[in-house]
Amino acid sequence: GVTIDTGGADLKTGGAMFGMSRDKYGSAVVAGFFKALEALRPKGIKAVGYMCMVRNSIGADSYTCDEIIKARSGKRIHIYCTDAEGRITMLDPLTKMREMVLNEKNPHLFTLATLTGHAFLSKGYYASVIDNGPAHEVRFAETIQKYGDEYGQPTEISRLHPEDYAFHEAESECADLRQGNTKPSVQTIRGHQGPAAFLIRASRLDEHGTDSTLPIKFSHIDIGSAMGDYPHVTYPNPLVALLSTGYIKHEINKMKQCERDESSIIRNFDRNTASLQHTNRNRPNSQKLLARKRDSIKHHTRMLMIEHTLVESKGFDVGSSKLRGLLAAFNDD
């Protein structure tokens, strides 16, 4: 949510500041995500988001290199470069989220930011998804990549390694961690993976890894330049991919369940038709029983048709011609 990134005391020069009004794009995706939730109103999902709005400028209140800032987590962070402000901006909200989800069911934390030029150099105009251990165990990055491909918003996957965590070891005895280094990310080895490792260590999410008693899934998404080049029109990337892993995925599963139910209804219809014929042959006076069985089949078929209609109204093409045929047969009687 950096509304304009001048670089701060480590000022961007040589035209590098141009387009930095788009450094708030991570917060823009968060806003879009919640706008989509408002429209779709999915059930069974609890979402909480922070938009970390700041302006990275030079002034009396701006931070500088050589400062040591104590984070919400209690970690002392040694500042090396004021132009690496994004990770510092997200750190305390991420820590608060970690505290909030300790008693939640199956939580998954995210950070989204136009964090590094290194992500753009490495991945081009695609968001890079980086999972911690617990998120990697459920293959979240692979999941968002799969559905992103299906919905036309591809993402790339990056991995964390031990050197990414080690890179942020403090060099000063007065600090617990160092924010980064004095070089731009494009001149730093593994320049977009390191910030994810920093966020994990500085927020104490490293205490909730796969080997802990309370693992917490965390995925860092470096948007880089996935929104497109300034001043051209931006794209809501990776908003659709994010939604596809939750709500749309749920609707797809719902659609598949409808298809399974359709097959089950048709099989039951065939069995009940045979039963009706058998009953009619052996008990010619049991018209009430026949009527109840026919009404039962008709009711369940109508319920499934309603379910299909609801799914179709959300843009899914569900083949239910067989069920329509069954209803037509009933209505003709």
Candidate list 22, 75, 87, 178, residue with the active-site label: 87
Its pTM stands at 0.76
Q: Is 12 in the active site?
A: yes
Candidate list 12, 55, 294, 298, residue with the active-site label: 12
**Of 202, 217, 205, whose CA–CA distance to 131 is shortest?**
217
Tens of pLDDT, residues 134-191 = 999 999 999 999 999 988 899 999 999 999 999 999 999 999 999 999 999 999 999 9
Q: Is 87 in the active site?
A: yes
Tens of pLDDT, residues 259-306 = 666 666 666 666 666 665 555 555 555 566 666 666 666 655 555 555
Q: Domain segments of the chain: what residues?
A: 2-246, 252-329
Residue 216 has pLDDT above 60, yes or no: yes
Per CATH, the number for 2-246 is 3.40.630.10
Distance separating alpha carbons of residues 246 and 250, to the nearest angstrom: 6
Distance separating alpha carbons of residues 332 and 330, to the nearest angstrom: 5
Highest mean pLDDT among 39-48, 55-64, 195-204: 195-204
Q: Say what the pLDDT of residue 244 is.
A: 84
Distance separating alpha carbons of residues 243 and 45, to the nearest angstrom: 12
- Token readout for 85 is 């402000």
Query: What does the pLDDT average to over 45-52?
Result: 94
